[in-house]
């Protein structure tokens, strides 16, 4: 029913000892999933090809990430770093989404979860930013359009930070819709209600301190109907768990139950519109205990 894509190279992306987006995040998720579900179908993520990356990224960004030879750490911005292991990690993180789309659309599995890092949804066509090197979910969506000929791909993003890169990449692409809840104001400063693209974007900013009731309300009343009306042939999820009340980078007051509830709602839409086909990619989440709990809750629902 579900395959989990990951790769050891994603642990070799070194961000330094004090960085919140650190290898321990992924290690915690992998151990939690292995403990909760010993029978998971684990798959090794391949490297994304240059052609797959170039569907959404400019050549200059590929050269920066893949051809820089860092000796130690190189800061691309105050938050985003390159290390000797970063290039392969970025290729595997993006490749996981591509392989997961192939698996779901070829009926090898109904759903897939990509347990990878670095995250992706802040990376724009030309810039790495916000811990993200390549936009993993955008690469996956573009692959579904180009390789599988889909006409409607939906992206649901519940990370506490707005997926500015994903939105910018697809803002003028009628075959992709993007629905996001996020704390606002907060990094990266985008995601206002009036950012609607060509009618294919729906943003639901949440104020500082918003709780699970407010989170569920914007999805129930705004974002889920928007996704359902798009009638997607494939549903992709940017699964960021940094809206949890214990997360150090934001101040929403969500729980693992809130993420499980939303996952169930998204599964219902997928079951109704696209034979249950979902590919979910890990984004943020920086309290390790909360990240483990929420990842397990998310996969618990996706398994059935």
- Angle between the 256-273 and 288-302 helix axes, to the nearest 10 degrees? 30
Contact 191, 178 (CB under 8 A): no
Beta strands at 201-206 and 176-183: parallel, antiparallel or unpaired: parallel
Which of 7, 13, 122, 244 is labelled catalytic?
122
> In Å, what is the CA distance from 275 to each residue of 42, 153, 154, 178?
22, 13, 14, 20
Which residues pair with residue 113 across a beta bridge? 4, 280
Q: Is 122 a catalytic residue?
A: yes
Q: How many CB atoms lie within 10 A of CB 68?
A: 12
Burial (CB count <10 Å: 0-12, 13-18, 19+), residue 51: exposed
Contact 132, 165 (CB under 8 A): yes
Q: How far apart are CA 32 and CA 5, in angstroms?
A: 15
Residues that are catalytic: 122
């Amino acid at each position: 029913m579900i395959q989990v894509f990951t790769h050891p190279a994603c642990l070799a992306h070194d961000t330094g000892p004090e960085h919140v987006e650190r290898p321990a995040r992924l290690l915690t998720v992998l151990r939690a999933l292995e403990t909760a579900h010993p029978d998971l179908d684990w798959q090794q993520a391949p490297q994304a090809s240059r052609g797959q990356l170039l569907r959404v990224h400019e050549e200059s960004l590929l050269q920066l990430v893949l051809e820089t030879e860092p000796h130690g750490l190189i800061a691309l911005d105050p938050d985003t770093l390159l290390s000797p292991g970063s290039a392969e990690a970025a290729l595997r993180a993006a490749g996981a989404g591509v392989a997961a789309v192939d698996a779901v659309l070829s009926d090898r599995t109904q759903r897939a979860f990509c347990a990878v890092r670095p995250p992706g949804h802040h990376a724009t066509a030309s810039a790495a930013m916000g811990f993200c090197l390549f936009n993993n979910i955008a690469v996956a969506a573009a692959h579904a359009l180009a390789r599988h000929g889909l006409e409607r791909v939906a992206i649901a993003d519940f990370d506490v930070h707005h997926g500015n890169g994903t939105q910018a990449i697809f803002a003028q692409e009628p075959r992709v819709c993007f629905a996001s809840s996020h704390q606002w104001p907060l990094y990266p400063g985008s995601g206002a209600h009036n950012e609607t693209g060509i009618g294919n974007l729906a943003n639901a900013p949440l104020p500082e301190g918003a709780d699970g009731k407010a989170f569920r309300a914007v999805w129930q009343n705004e974002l889920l109907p928007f996704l359902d009306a798009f009638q997607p042939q494939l549903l992709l999820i940017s699964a960021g768990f940094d809206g949890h009340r214990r997360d150090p980078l934001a101040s929403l007051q969500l729980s693992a139950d809130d993420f499980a509830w939303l996952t169930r709602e998204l599964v219902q839409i997928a079951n109704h519109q696209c034979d249950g086909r979902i590919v979910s990619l890990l984004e943020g989440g920086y309290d390790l205990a909360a990240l483990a709990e929420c990842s397990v809750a998310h996969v618990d629902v996706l398994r059935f």
